[in-house]
């Protein structure tokens, strides 16, 4: 991987996503106008990242921010609940809305163009969503369980086109309700119907496992989503909550199958965007966590390698976003080549969690 240019790889990936989003929004004038503006913002962000590279400062194009610990569902196998990063009530000492705005502003000025908002259930922090809406230079996909999309909620998306709801779904009704609770699928279908009628660009997020990979990539499933106005599907590979569910996680064989299936599906005329995360890590020179392609900010401001590696030695209340990228933990993970190591499935940092903990203890 000596000749691998990470900045170029990531920036080209961002451009492809923007082109796909622009194409997907062509039938919607309001979305199309914003996406054309965002395409310009994205080019400026890339210039900022390239200038930083010349100074030997690597700026990732993405961030993931968990803006709340509170969630109204109890999904089976939820990684956040297992790690006590998610609960029925708001945890104390979470970042305030103005603190999040300050982080988002720093991200814009550094050239970060995408910030994925998660939780908990991010729709429970509308104060933070409103702050995000004030920064059109950043696209904010909001990963929501889809149960809080009433008319007043949808007005936020009508006003701020840089906020894009991404609804979590597990396949058809049986699989979704089995994992997320009875009635969740109907909530999702109702939410999709209203978002589509309101002309709001939205997507879906699917946790993909060895067991459901064929169902959630089938023409039947994707055609149904497309018919309901969904313009993007993000496939997130399952990461085990413990060793007992490791057999659900992808290995090399399943990841290769997934890559081939997505290559085939992307040949269709349907403008739906299909993204796989983490996808083929070998293509990107290893795991993109710990600031290589992104990092995670938890609800308390802790800078973590990724949501599936909830360990931190740096807090955004104490340092700038740029300083957080120089975290000792991140540097040890990158310089020690931990992110490039082989692993059986799920994600490398899940398998190497003892090494991550060891770095914190040093």
Q: How do residues 12-40 score in pLDDT, each as one tens digit?
A: 878 888 888 888 888 888 889 999 999 99
Residue 224 lies inside a defined structural domain of this protein: yes
Question: Would you state the pLDDT for residue 4?
Answer: 62
Q: Please list, in sequence order, all residues whose beta carbon lies within 8 angstroms of the beta carbon of residue 76, skipping any fewer than 6 positions away.
A: 178, 179, 180
Residue recorded with tokens 């933070």: 128
d(CA 193, CA 183): 16
Residue 346 lies inside a defined structural domain of this protein: yes
To the nearest 5 percent, what fractions of the chain are helix, strand and coil? 45, 15, 40
At residue 256 the predicted structure's pLDDT band, cuts being 50, 70 and 90, is: confident
* CATH number of the domain within which 127 lies: 3.20.20.70
Sheet holding 203-208, edge to edge: 273-277, 232-237, 203-208, 163-168, 140-144, 114-118, 62-66, 296-297, 303-304
Q: Compute and round to an integer the Cα radius of gyration of the chain.
A: 19
Domain count, the chain: 1
Mean residue pLDDT across the chain:
89
Question: Would you state the pLDDT for residue 353?
Answer: 82
- Asked if residue 170 lies in contact with residue 128, where contact means CB atoms within 8 angstroms, the answer is no
- Asked if residue 338 lies in contact with residue 344, where contact means CB atoms within 8 angstroms, the answer is no
Residue span of the structural domain in which 92 resides: 6-361
Residue 204 — φ and ψ, nearest 5°? -130, 150
Q: Is the pLDDT assigned to residue 345 strictly greater than 70?
A: no
At residue 357 the predicted structure's pLDDT band, cuts being 50, 70 and 90, is: confident
Output the furthest CA–CA distance in the chain (Å, rounded): 55
What is the pTM assigned to this prediction?
0.92
Residue 40 lies inside a defined structural domain of this protein: yes
Residue 1 lies inside a defined structural domain of this protein: no
Q: What percent of the chain lies above the pLDDT cut of 70?
A: 94
Helix (H) or strand (E) holding 44: helix 29-54
Q: What mean pLDDT do residues 104-133 have?
A: 97
Bridge partner list, 232:
273
d(CA 170, CA 208): 8
* More confident position, 280 or 4: 4
Q: What mean pLDDT do residues 242-246 have?
A: 73
d(CA 327, CA 314): 6
The two beta strands, 62-66 and 114-118, are: parallel
């Amino acid at each position: 991987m000596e000749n691998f240019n990470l900045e170029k790889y990531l920036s080209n990936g961002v451009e492809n996503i923007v082109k796909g989003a622009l194409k997907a929004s062509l039938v919607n004038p309001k979305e199309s106008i914003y996406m054309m503006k965002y395409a310009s913002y994205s080019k400026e962000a890339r210039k900022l990242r390239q200038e930083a590279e010349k100074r030997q400062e690597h700026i990732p194009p993405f961030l993931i921010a968990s803006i709340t610990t509170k969630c109204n569902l109890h999904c089976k196998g939820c990684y956040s609940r297992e790690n006590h990063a998610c609960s029925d009530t708001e945890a104390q000492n979470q970042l305030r809305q103005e603190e999040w705005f300050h982080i988002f502003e720093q991200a814009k000025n550094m050239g970060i163009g995408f910030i994925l908002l998660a939780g908990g259930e991010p729709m429970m922090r509308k104060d933070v969503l409103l702050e995000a809406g004030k920064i059109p230079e950043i696209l904010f996909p909001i990963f929501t369980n889809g149960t809080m999309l009433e008319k007043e909620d949808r007005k936020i998306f009508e006003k701020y086109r840089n906020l894009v709801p991404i609804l979590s779904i597990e396949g058809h009704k049986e699989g979704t309700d089995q994992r997320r609770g009875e009635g969740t699928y109907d909530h999702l279908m109702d939410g999709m119907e209203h978002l589509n009628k309101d002309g709001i660009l939205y997507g879906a997020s699917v946790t993909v496992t060895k067991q459901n990979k064929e169902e959630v990539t089938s023409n039947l499933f994707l055609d149904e989503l497309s018919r309901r106005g969904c313009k993007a599907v993000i496939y997130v590979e399952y990461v085990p909550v413990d060793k007992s569910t490791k057999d659900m996680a992808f290995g090399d064989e399943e990841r290769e199958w997934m890559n081939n299936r997505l290559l085939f599906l992307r040949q269709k005329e349907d403008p739906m965007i299909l993204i796989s995360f983490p996808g083929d890590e070998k293509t990107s020179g290893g795991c993109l966590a710990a600031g290589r392609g992104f990092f995670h900010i938890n609800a308390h401001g802790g800078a973590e390698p990724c949501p599936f590696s909830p360990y931190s030695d740096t807090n955004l209340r104490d340092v700038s976003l740029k300083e957080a990228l120089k975290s000792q933990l991140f540097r040890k993970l990158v310089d020690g080549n931990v992110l490039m190591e082989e692993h059986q499935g799920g994600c490398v940092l899940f398998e190497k969690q003892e090494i991550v903990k060891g770095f914190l203890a040093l």
